[in-house]
Amino acid sequence: MTTFTVEDRAERPWVGVSMTAELAHWDRVNAHVPRIYGALAAAGGIPQGGPIYQYRRLRTAADPMDVTVSVPVPACVELGDGFGTGVLPAGRYLVARPEGGPDALERTHRDMWEWAGVQGLDLAVDERADGIHWHARTEQFLTDPQSEPDRSKWAVEVAYLLR
């Protein structure tokens, strides 16, 4: 069972690429990770951890979703065409660090949503006709896949901004 915590966090600057994507073509999303790190290195920027996937709009797992693939940085740095910058907002976050790597994420998200409801936590979302719009919903990969090829051993952190 995954443990959930509520944490106060400062804002976190990032650089990245935003897109609309489908799970069936997630390889296209993942392809941006080395591009971002490469552009950041070329600009003299220093990453502050593993890649963060920011889910901005979701309906169902089968529908296209708006996502930003980003890398945390100490301060925003312009990388040029095709790259954006921003900050994850400061605030209270519901956080989970599930065991099982990416394969545990679907269950973790379902359990977090249910746990938040039971605890009376108000997730920072807006429900609209085109899906759920998240103020901040992230998955940050904490393990370098080149140093640990076994996906089940990857450390991942899931965080939802609370109102």
| CB-side neighbour CA atoms (13 Å) of 49 | 16
Q: Provide the pLDDT for residue 145.
A: 80
Count of the separate structural domains present in the chain: 1
Structural domain boundaries enclosing 63: 4-161
What digits encode the pLDDT tens for the residues 71-112? 999 999 999 999 999 999 999 999 999 988 888 999 999 999
- Indicate whether 147 pLDDT > 90: no
- Indicate whether 114 pLDDT > 80: yes
Distance CA 23, CA 27 (A): 9
Distance CA 81, CA 20 (A): 17
Output 149 or 20, whichever has higher pLDDT. 20
The pTM score is: 0.94
Q: Provide the pLDDT for residue 117.
A: 96
Instruction: For residue 152, give the CATH number of its domain.
Output: 3.20.80.10
Output 100 or 51, whichever has higher pLDDT. 51
And the tokens for 104? 């545990």
